[in-house]
Amino acid sequence: MSTFNEKELFQRVADGDENAFREIFHEYNARLLPFILKICKSPLIAEEIVQEVFLRVWINREDLANMDQPVSWLYKVAANLAISYLRKEAVNEKKLLHLATTSAPARNDVIDKLTTKEIQLLIEKAARQLPPRRQQIYRLSRQDGLNHKEIAEKLSLSQNTVKDQLVIALKYIREYIRKESGVSISVLLLLSLL
């Protein structure tokens, strides 16, 4: 597509021409996707950002007529959206890290659906539904405070078996709590402390 045609197409979009918008979408969709993907590393997010770029093109179409380089503007919008996404992800990770390292009372504020006692009852209910050997391994770990090696020796099992059984048990308990209460992230944090 030549520069003249690009300017003409963007001018037509500025005038509200939906066919010109479709042409621009088809021309630049495939170009913007790999550009955004390099920044955000997620194909799904990259596709969402591309959609957002073209939404902004349509919303701001009247401004396109005054732009000397509308294609550069497209890439600038795409880069800004991708960087904003990365910033939000960094803030979310920081919040989760903070949540994981704060005191138990602060965590209880986050879990306004359930009290700690209710969560412990749900955990106990879920643990009782585990197969007997898995339940025994879980209780030796979480209630008696034994490490993998100690449990393996006590039950004449390999450490890998103990580890695998604990992983399965914790996954089951987390899923049980999520289904029963609708609480997930904060409960996972509490489970790691139990």
Residues contacting 47, CB < 8 A, separation 6+: 33
Q: How confident is the model at residue 65 (pLDDT cuts 50, 70, 90)?
A: confident
pTM of the model: 0.47
Per-residue pLDDT tens digits for 138-177: 889 877 888 889 999 999 999 899 988 888 988 888 788 7
Task: Output the CATH code of domain 3-100.
Answer: 1.10.1740.10
d(CA 146, CA 132): 18
Is the pLDDT reported for residue 185 higher than 50?
Answer: no
d(CA 113, CA 90): 27
pLDDT at 111: 46
Domain positions in the chain are 3-100, 103-193
**103-193 under CATH 1.10.10.10, yes or no:** yes
pLDDT at 103: 43
